[in-house]
Amino acid sequence: MPYNLDSFHTPAEPAQGDAYSSQKKRERGAVDFVRWVLNGFTTDRRPDVRLTISNRTRQTVLARCVEVADHGAKRGKGLLGRNSLSPEEGLWIFPCEAVHTFGMRFPIDLVYIDRNMRVKKVRSNVRPWRLSACLSAHSVIELATGTIGRTQTGPGDRLECFSAVPLEDGSSSPEQG
């Protein structure tokens, strides 16, 4: 649905009828719209979420500390700026049908999944400066190189996720309970 900047208002600032001229409304709407985009398309700031993702079909764990990139800034940055990704880490980007590794410093494995957490496509050892896509996917999980081989994850497998709780040593494990 296209956004109408004449009538866009954040929840904290409802429309004020004839108090503003059409031009002022348009300017204010544009400013609010830009703030909304810069805030990741939301008016609330969510804390970082970490998950454990496992392959239910093969009874293996893909990663125990997966960040969720579901809003603008986090999706835009992805893994850029990092020097590596440990075997237990990952980044789940959604919605997402395609990724690039431009500017990356290390290769990654990619697991494309649909809305039902079924694997649609896997790509192993995707080196920097590459493109990858799966138009039937709803999201993609970026993992350390070797994860797909180690877990034998393939198209058709069903994944599941659990909330990861931090341990005292700084690592994380699936929440029990």
Percent of residues, the chain, with pLDDT higher than 90: 53
DSSP string of 78-144, one letter each residue:
TTTT-S---TTEEEEESS-SEEE-TT-SS-EEEEEE-TTSBEEEEEEEE-SS-EEE-TT-SEEEEEE
Does pLDDT of 77 surpass 60? yes
Tokens 């609330």 — which residue? Answer: 44
Q: Are 88 and 112 in contact (CB under 8 A)?
A: no
Break the chain into its structural domains and give their ranges: 1-45, 50-174
Predicted confidence at residue 14, as pLDDT, reads: 44
Least confident of 20-24, 59-63, 94-98, 125-129: 20-24
Q: Which residue has the higher pLDDT, 105 or 72?
A: 105
Considering the domain delimited by 50-174, tell me its CATH architecture.
Sandwich (2.60)
Predicted confidence at residue 9, as pLDDT, reads: 38
Kindly indicate the confidence band of residue 7, based on its pLDDT and cuts at 50, 70 and 90.
very low
Does pLDDT of 132 surpass 70? yes
Predicted confidence at residue 165, as pLDDT, reads: 58
Residue 6, amino acid: D
